[in-house]
């Protein structure tokens, strides 16, 4: 933080908490007040409590502010507004120009030439050039950062002049635009900001808003950067507060203390729908939630045991309890709203609950399993995992499987996942666009997120082929085949596709809820007279 905010930091020091922790129920209200106290400290810069500052509440704190190193959604919610990518998905998730104003593709789809927009500058005044794009992608690849797996097919990244970058791929790459355009980990960063180490605490991008200040455990303030290539922003600032308790966030929204939130408990939807001062947006998200079992631990290496669990779980009940009617049960990853959707209902086809449970018991007997204890690892950072786990535990108890729910801090959860120290775990994958996003890292035997240690040579061949197939119909069939085999093997036991649900005051205009859950405030406007 800049020296101008030193006094402000001292005034809220007692309210600070360590990263990855949330505000407790008793402290949530105080945390909200602390956030606005911080905004008040920033009033000298014209940011705080003004009619032109969007006050946004998210459910957790970013784990860090380096977009290449984080994989946390809370980080991306903030950083989406600070950084840009070379291309980006529009509302229909089709890739359109962003920092690159146009591109050309060789006939074999292995050479991609991007021409940058002229006149773009980083927040520190440095001009954006092809060197910055080369540096950003080489950093991800060479340091094997969070999204390096997305660039595995990239052979070279070169500049041909100050405004032109060429990416050469080893094989035809039908999904390259989606790879570099999905915000997760693909931001174009400023070399000076990285090499100074300041990117971790004071990131510098080319986006519509610049990092202004922050208080750990409480808030981050972004200040508008006029003249962004998108035509925005149209507000002076965005002040993010971190409110883990959804009821607190909803109350703050309805009372006018905040303008926007996605920290919305499903049981609060009816209340929000009946509030004329609130606009509620809900769309089917491209996310999915799943359970996976550890192939390296017996008896979960036995497909009959995994399939027994798949038959025993009541997905509609889980979706209802978690989403209150907004989540959609699904036995594959990709939602029905996607052109890549594949129909699959092996674990429910022609079966009522009693028949499905009998099927599960029969498979357990065939596997020689008379009694089974299963630890199910969830994280308190995503409360829906705890709720879903409780339903799953009840479902599995009905077929003789005793489930112990392990509620962990997300950092501990990640450590145990990476070390393979689990029987089963429950979580979700967010921000998917291309089918490769849904399946390769998670289910290829060499996938970077294949913590369950799944290996199927046929699936490997299909996923490899999907990365190079240019014909759309053929590619869709490849992924349908791969997805079916993945579900048959229960590499992941898919539960449901959630909704993207956000709410804002009627004073906030021109904001769109997106199925990829990208939070973009660059087009938003404020008219306080409408919210009065």
Ordered domains of the chain (ranges, CATH): 3-79+207-282+501-531 (3.40.190.10), 87-193 (3.90.76.10), 288-497 (3.10.105.10)
Mean pLDDT of 422-430: 94
Which residues 6+ apart lie within 8 Å of 306 measured at CB? Answer: 293, 300, 489, 490, 493
pLDDT for position 51: 82
**Which residues 6+ apart lie within 8 Å of 189 measured at CB?**
67, 68, 83, 132, 135, 136, 139, 199, 203, 204, 205
Report pLDDT digits (tens) over 101-115.
999 999 999 999 999
pLDDT value of residue 72? 85
| The pLDDT value given to residue 469 | 93
* The model's pTM: 0.77
In this structure, of 73-77, 478-482, 512-516, 528-532, the range with the lowest mean pLDDT score is 528-532
Under DSSP, is residue 282 helix (H, G, I), strand (E, B) or coil?
strand
pLDDT of residue 149: 85
Strands (E), 235-381: 237-242, 260-261, 278-284, 288-293, 328-329, 372-379
More confidently predicted of 188 and 19 = 188
**Residues 407/411/414/418 CA torsion (nearest 10 deg):** -130
Phi, then psi, of 527 in degrees rounded to 5: -135, 90
Beta strand 164-169 with 154-161: parallel, antiparallel or unpaired?
Answer: antiparallel
Contact 223, 81 (CB under 8 A): no
DSSP string, 374-433: EEEEEETTSHHHHHHHHHHHHHHHTTTEEEEEEEE-HHHHHHHHHHT--SEEEEEE-S--
**Six token digits for residue 116:** 């940058």
What is the C-alpha separation between 145 and 32, in angstroms, rounded?
A: 34
How do residues 128-153 score in pLDDT, each as one tens digit?
Answer: 999 999 999 999 999 999 889 889 89
Q: How many residues does the chain have?
A: 532
List CB contacts of 47: < 8 A, sequence separation 6 or more.
Answer: 39, 53, 212, 221, 223, 236, 237, 239
DSSP for 165-234 reads EEEEESS--TTHHHHHHSSTT-----HHHHHTTGGGTS---SSSEEEEEEETTTEEEEEE-TT-TTS---
CA 69/CA 82 separation, integer angstroms: 15
Name every residue whose Cβ is closer than 8 Å to that of residue 414 and which is 6 or more positions away in sequence: none
Is 70 exceeded by the pLDDT of residue 450?
yes
């Amino acid at each position: 933080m800049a020296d101008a905010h030193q006094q402000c930091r001292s005034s809220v020091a007692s309210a600070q908490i360590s990263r990855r922790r949330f505000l407790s129920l008793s402290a949530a209200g105080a945390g909200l007040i602390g956030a606005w106290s911080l905004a008040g400290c920033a009033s000298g810069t014209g940011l705080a409590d003004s009619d032109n500052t969007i006050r946004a509440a998210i459910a957790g704190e970013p784990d860090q502010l380096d977009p290449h190193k984080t994989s946390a959604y809370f980080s991306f919610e903030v950083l989406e507004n600070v950084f840009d990518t070379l291309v980006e998905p529009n509302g229909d998730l089709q890739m359109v120009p962003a920092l690159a104003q146009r591109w050309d593709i060789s006939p074999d789809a292995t050479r991609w030439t991007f021409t940058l927009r002229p006149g773009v500058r980083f927040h520190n005044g440095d001009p954006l050039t092809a060197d910055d794009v080369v540096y950003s992608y080489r950093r991800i690849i060479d340091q094997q950062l969070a999204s390096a797996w997305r660039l595995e097919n990239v052979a070279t990244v070169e500049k041909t002049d100050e405004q032109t970058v060429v990416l050469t791929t080893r094989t035809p790459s039908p999904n390259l635009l989606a790879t570099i355009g999905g915000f997760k980990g693909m931001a174009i960063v400023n070399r000076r900001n990285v090499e100074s180490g300041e990117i971790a605490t004071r990131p510098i991008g080319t986006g519509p808003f610049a990092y202004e200040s922050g208080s750990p455990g409480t808030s981050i303030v972004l200040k508008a950067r006029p003249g962004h290539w998108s035509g925005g922003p149209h507000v002076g600032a965005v002040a993010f507060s971190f409110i883990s308790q959804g009821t607190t966030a909803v109350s703050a929204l309805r009372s006018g203390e905040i303008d926007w939130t996605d920290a919305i408990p499903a049981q609060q939807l009816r209340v929000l729908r009946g509030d004329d001062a609130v606009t509620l947006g809900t769309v089917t998200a491209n996310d999915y939630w799943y359970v996976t079992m550890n192939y390296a631990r017996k008896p979960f290496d036995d497909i009959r045991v995994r399939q027994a669990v798949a038959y025993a779980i009541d997905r509609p009940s889980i979706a209802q309890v978690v989403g209150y009617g907004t989540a959609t049960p699904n036995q594959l990853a990709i939602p029905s709203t996607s052109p890549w959707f594949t129909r699959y209902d092996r674990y429910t086809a022609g079966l009522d609950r009693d028949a499905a449970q009998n099927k599960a018991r029969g498979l357990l007997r065939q596997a020689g399993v008379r009694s089974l204890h299963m630890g199910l690892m969830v994280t308190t950072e995503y409360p829906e995992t705890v709720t879903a786990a409780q339903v799953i535990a009840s479902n599995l108890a009905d077929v003789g499987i005793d489930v112990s729910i392990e509620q962990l801090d997300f950092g501990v959860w990640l450590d145990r996942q990476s070390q393979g120290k689990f029987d089963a775990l429950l979580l979700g994958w967010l921000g998917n666009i291309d089918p490769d996003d849904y399946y390769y890292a998670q289910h290829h035997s060499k996938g970077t997120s294949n913590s369950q240690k799944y290996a199927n040579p046929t699936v490997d061949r299909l996923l490899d082929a999907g990365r190079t197939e240019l014909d759309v119909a053929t590619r869709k069939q490849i992924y349908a085949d791969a997805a079916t085999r993945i579900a048959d093997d229960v590499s992941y036991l898919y539960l449901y596709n959630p909704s993207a649900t956000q709410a804002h005051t009627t004073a906030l205009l021109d904001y769109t809820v997106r199925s990829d859950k990208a939070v973009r405030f660059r087009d938003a406007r404020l008219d306080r007279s409408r919210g009065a």
